[in-house]
Amino acid sequence: MKAYFKELVVNTSERFQVVNITRMVEEVVRESGVRNGICLVFAPHATAAIIANEYEPRIVADYIELVKQVFKPDYPWRHNSIDNNAHAHLASAIIGASRVFPVKEGRLVRGTWQEILLVELDGPRSRHVIVEVMGE
Ligand code: ZN
């Protein structure tokens, strides 16, 4: 079994932002030489998330609106007394900081409307995304 590890850097520019990292991840899968296996996409951060879904301006705005409505940045969360980003920790905890994809015949398998998206919840920041491709 092969295991190929790569760390990508993604600089965000907004407090809330959705960055399409699909091409970067697919490039890592190509580089890895893995034909059949799995691809882990993991953000080692407590205030960001990884999702696999459509990347279209209206739904992207809706993802951000949903995060704001559900996790309420202005609510007096206890953690806000530390660094004012409780909503980002809560959203990251619930949405998740990783996704796993199948790799088949050298290509990452995903649905037509499943782009791989980094969700910035407390930017702007420099984010790291670990991509590990494992298989034969
Ligand atoms: Zn915090």
Tens-digit pLDDT profile for residues 47-69? 999 999 999 999 999 999 999 99
CATH number, residue 91: 2.60.120.460
Whether 2 contacts 135, CB under 8 Å: yes
Q: Which domain holds residue 58?
A: 2-135
84 CA → ligand 1 middle, Å: 6
Q: What is the mean pLDDT of residues 31-56?
A: 98
Q: What is the SS3 assignment for 135?
A: strand
Q: What is the pLDDT of residues 76-129, one digit of tens each?
A: 999 999 999 999 999 999 999 999 999 999 999 999 999 999 999 999 999 999
What is the per-residue pLDDT for 20?
Answer: 98
94 CA → ligand 1 middle, Å: 15
83 CA → ligand 1 middle, Å: 5
Number of structural domains (the chain) is 1
**Distance (Å, rounded) from C-alpha 75 to C-alpha 86?**
9
Amino acid of residue 108:
L
Q: Which helix (H) or strand (E) holds 50?
A: strand 48-53
**Distance (Å, rounded) from C-alpha 121 to C-alpha 136?**
35
68 CA → ligand 1 middle, Å: 16
47 CA → ligand 1 middle, Å: 8
Owner of token pair 């949903």: 66
Residue 117 DSSP class? E
Whether 19 contacts 10, CB under 8 Å: yes
122 CA → ligand 1 middle, Å: 9
What is the per-residue pLDDT for 128?
Answer: 98
